[in-house]
Chain A
Amino acid sequence: MSNLVIYSTKSGYKTHSPVWEIKRHWQAYLMLAVPVIYIIIFSYLPMLGVSIAFKDFSFRKGILSSPWVGWKHFKQFLGNPAFFQTILRNTIMISVYSFFANLVVPIILALALNEVVNKIFKKTVQMVTYIPYFISVTVMIGMLLQLLHPNVGLVNHIIKSLSGTAVDFMGRSSYFRHIYVWSGVWQSAGYNAIIYIASLTGIDQEVVEASIIDGANRVQRVMHVDIPTILPTITILMILSLGHIMNVGFEKIYLMQNPVNLEVSEVISTLVYKQGLQMAQMSYSTAVGLFNSVVNFMLLIITNGIARKISSTSLW
């Protein structure tokens, strides 16, 4: 049936009316209806629900009939210096720190693996380094707590046997950021390196040969052949992660929080959860969340714009 219609277009039927288009592809549009309705309910309805950031929401009245209060909730946290000095500062410091660590280490790992000639060694390193990616955050933090435990932890046993004194790593707020960031690197560097390794294998060997003949040593080849090859990949991944620079993942940091490190570990996502769901200040925490999303969205647009100006690589 449908292909009869397809051929009739060529002989001059009205082809641009919406009804005609939908009739011709009714099965495809029917398929799309399910995901579209799903996305509207589970993604766009919450976006409308953001309006409670400008209301005094109460469960009794519901979203629609709660009274409007304008910028009250935004003023409440934006007018509070403590918000900038702790929450926002923690969020930005942790995410910028982990952004750079997670950018640099996988690249170094990929460049190093690319130099290895011994295939078995290369495969082993590659396979082993991305095992941790499959461990859940809960188990990962459980391991961390055990390994760094002041009395029974492996790390402190090693420190003690080297005649040092045990360090209570989780009990000192000054260690928190480093533990958070480097345990993240431990978990995902191998996995994140995959994509760079893949683009490095795409290097044209003739370019490598040419550079050898021109007398480039290994370091020079890395600088002038390898890195330029993976630069577009780096750019795309950088833009994508800059769009999330204010999102410090909730799952991990929430598990790592304890009363001692709260001054450096409280970030926007944990604040939203605690204020909204534990203290039932729905409107206030939605306002904080919205502020966060808007900043992220703007950062994404700005970085994408800059990337498009200075290089040919961008998201859109």
Chain B
Amino acid sequence: MSDASYADELHGQGTNKARGKRIYNSYSDKAYMIFVNTFLIIALIVVVVPLLFVLASSFSSSDAVAAGRVFLWPVEPSLEGYKAVFRNDRLIRGFLNTIFYAVANIVLNLVMLLLAAYPLAKKDLKYKKYIVFLFSFTMFFSGGMIPSYLVIRSLGMIDTVWAMIIPSAMSIWNVIVTRTYFQSNIPYELFECASIDGCGDFIYLWKVVVPLSKPILAVMALFVGIGIWNSYFSALLYLQNYELYPLQLVLRDILILGDTGSMLLDVKDEMERQQLQQLLKYSTMVISSVPVMLIYPFVQKYFVKGVMVGSLKG
């Protein structure tokens, strides 16, 4: 029996109640456990109810949504909302753009990450401390919104796809986390051994370090991908062209500004259009969150590890 369950049993929480081991479960302990469980159940309800409400609404009829008859289960189930979503060219374009931006950013970020983290994890690199300082200073002080905008502008990236890829190609935080991972997981002797066989840094990085650090690279790819999927700020700053808009900026028009554009043009009746507009918002929210939710099981396996690595002091 493990230590943990022994401690629980000592405290009467173990499975073996029949043998009368409830020695110490005082009233204050019982009250405390009731408080703890109530708190957690409330937390669970508070998180789940809004999510279920959105999901249920998105599968209901527009009448039911507008009348507020939906709670946690679809009323008059229909796919009206989803049909309207797929009629919207802007939304689909936004989807494709975001997929492209996310993939491009993941690839570029991983390359930059390896190029920065691997050398900085090397034990005997004499000047690395200056470079570490150069990198980490940027975490605490930055030029700010306008000077960054001016730099991007003077590089001629405004209103091009480059503005969505290059400025987000590297995250110092990720570099530091990955470097810590390299330092603690890849023994230095491995490099000595390879270098005796005539292996240089590039070959070693590609043939030894990358295969050995797949978990952390997966975490980083997920971090970057989700970050790009969910952000709209750089697009708001750097893009004016509708054709290049990422998903989140299109969502902003639909969900926040209430601009459903061409989606509902064929609906003539004003009343019906307003009802459909409400429904449409729910379906849009669900559709746009599906990709991230689909990778959620994988994420949640690695993410916890990633957060853990990140918690180590650099």
- A194 with B256: CB separation less than 8 A: no
CA distance A4 to B285 in the complex (A): 61
By a CB distance below 8 angstroms, the chain B residues around A212 are 7, 10-11, 24
| Smallest Cβ-Cβ distance to A158: which chain B residue | B71
Can you offer 28 A-B residue contacts whose CB atoms are under 8 A?
A3-B196, A29-B119, A31-B116, A31-B202, A31-B205, A38-B112, A43-B138, A45-B151, A46-B144, A49-B143, A49-B150, A63-B150, A125-B43, A132-B51, A134-B292, A134-B296, A137-B230, A137-B231, A138-B251, A142-B254, A191-B307, A199-B311, A218-B28, A272-B146, A273-B145, A276-B145, A286-B146, A290-B144
Most buried by A among B8, B131, B146, B278: B146
CA gap between A109 and B112 in the complex, in Å: 36
Q: Nearest Cβ in chain B — how far from A149, in angstroms? A: 9
Which residue from chain B places its CB closest to the CB of A38 in the assembled complex? B170
- In the complex, which residue of chain B has the Cβ closest to the Cβ of A113? B40
Do A277 and B237 touch (CB < 8 A)?
yes
Q: Which residue of A lies closest to B229 (CB)?
A: A136
User: How far is it, in angstroms, between the C-alpha of A112 and the C-alpha of B124 when the chains are bound?
Assistant: 45
Candidates A18, A52, A121, A233; contact of B146 at CB < 8 Å: A52
Check B40–A125 contact: CB distance below 8 A.
yes
A115 to B140, CA, bound (A): 37
Within the assembled complex, what's the spacing in Å between the Cα atoms of A300 and B127?
A: 26
Q: Are A2 and B195 in contact (CB under 8 A)?
A: yes
Beyond A138-B232, A190-B47, A255-B252, 11 extra complex contacts between A and B, CB < 8 Å: A25-B119, A42-B170, A52-B150, A109-B43, A134-B293, A139-B251, A154-B68, A189-B43, A195-B308, A208-B7, A236-B311
CA distance A115 to B11 in the complex (A): 12
A152 touches B47 (CB 8 A): no
Interface residues of B in 203-251 (CB under 8 A from A): 205, 226, 229-233, 237, 248, 251
List of A residues within 8 angstroms of B126 by Cβ: 21, 25
Contacts of B146 in A (CB 8 A): 49, 52, 272, 276-277, 282, 285-286, 289
* B125 CB–A CB distance under 8 Å: yes
* Residue of B with least CB distance to A275: B146
> A205 in the interface, Cβ–Cβ < 8 Å?
yes
Q: Is the CB of B122 closer than 8 A to any CB of chain A?
A: yes
Q: CA separation between A138 and B232, bound complex, in Å?
A: 8
Partner of A152, one of B8, B65, B150, B226: B65
Q: Taking the nearest CB of chain A, how far is it from the CB of B146, in angstroms?
A: 4
Question: Could you say which of A138, A205, A272, A290 contacts B255, with CB atoms under 8 Å apart?
Answer: A138
Expressed in whole angstroms, the Cα–Cα distance for A124 and B40 within the complex equals 10
Q: Is there contact, CB below 8 Å, between A138 and B248? A: yes
Contact A34–B112 (Cβ < 8 Å): yes
With A35-B112, A127-B300, A147-B53 known to touch, is A219 a contact of B144 (CB < 8 Å)?
no
Cα A39 to Cα B54 in complex, Å, equals 42
Expressed in whole angstroms, the Cα–Cα distance for A217 and B143 within the complex equals 52
A16 to B262, CA, bound (A): 69
Q: Find out whether the CB atom of A43 lies under 8 angstroms from the CB atom of B43.
A: no
A41 at the binding interface (Cβ < 8 Å): yes
Q: Which of B29-37, B85-93, B182-190, B263-271 contacts A (4 or more CB under 8 A)?
A: B29-37
Asked whether, in the complex, the Cβ of B44 is within 8 Å of the Cβ of A124, the reply is: yes
B97 CB within 8 Å of chain A? no
The 9 closest A-B pairs by CB, nearest first: A46-B143, A142-B255, A49-B147, A289-B144, A205-B3, A136-B230, A27-B201, A46-B147, A35-B116
The reply to whether B201 and A25 contact each other, CB–CB distance below 8 Å, is yes
Q: Are A27 and B200 in contact (CB under 8 A)?
A: yes
* A52–B14 alpha-carbon span in the complex (Å): 67
Chain A contacts to B: CB under 8 angstroms: 1-3, 6, 18, 21, 25, 27-29, 31-32, 34-36, 38-39, 41-50, 52, 63, 108-109, 112-113, 115-117, 121, 124-125, 127-132, 134-139, 141-143, 145-147, 152, 154, 157, 186, 189-191, 194-195, 198-199, 205-206, 208-209, 212, 217-219, 233, 236, 243, 250-251, 255, 269, 272-273, 276-277, 282, 285-286, 289-290, 292-293, 296-297, 300
Check A145–B40 contact: CB distance below 8 A.
no
Q: Which residues of chain B are near A145, meaning CB under 8 Å?
A: 255-256
Q: Is A116 touching B198 in the complex (CB atoms < 8 A)?
A: no
B33-83 CB contacts (< 8 Å) to partner A:
33, 36-37, 39-40, 43-44, 46-48, 50-51, 53-54, 65-66, 68, 71
B195 contacts A277, C-beta separation under 8 Å: no
Contacts of A293 in B (CB 8 A): 141-142, 144
Partner of B195, one of A3, A41, A251, A255: A3
A198 touches B44 (CB 8 A): no
Please measure, in the bound complex, the distance between the C-alpha atom of A122 and the C-alpha atom of B8, giving whole angstroms.
15
> B300 — which chain A residues lie within 8 A by C-beta?
127, 130
What residues on B are CB-neighbors of A209 within 8 Å? 3, 6-7, 10
A35→B36 contact, CB < 8 A = no
Give the distance to chain B from A283, nearest Cβ to Cβ, in Å: 8
Roughly how many angstroms separate A121 CA and B256 CA in the complex, as a whole number? 36
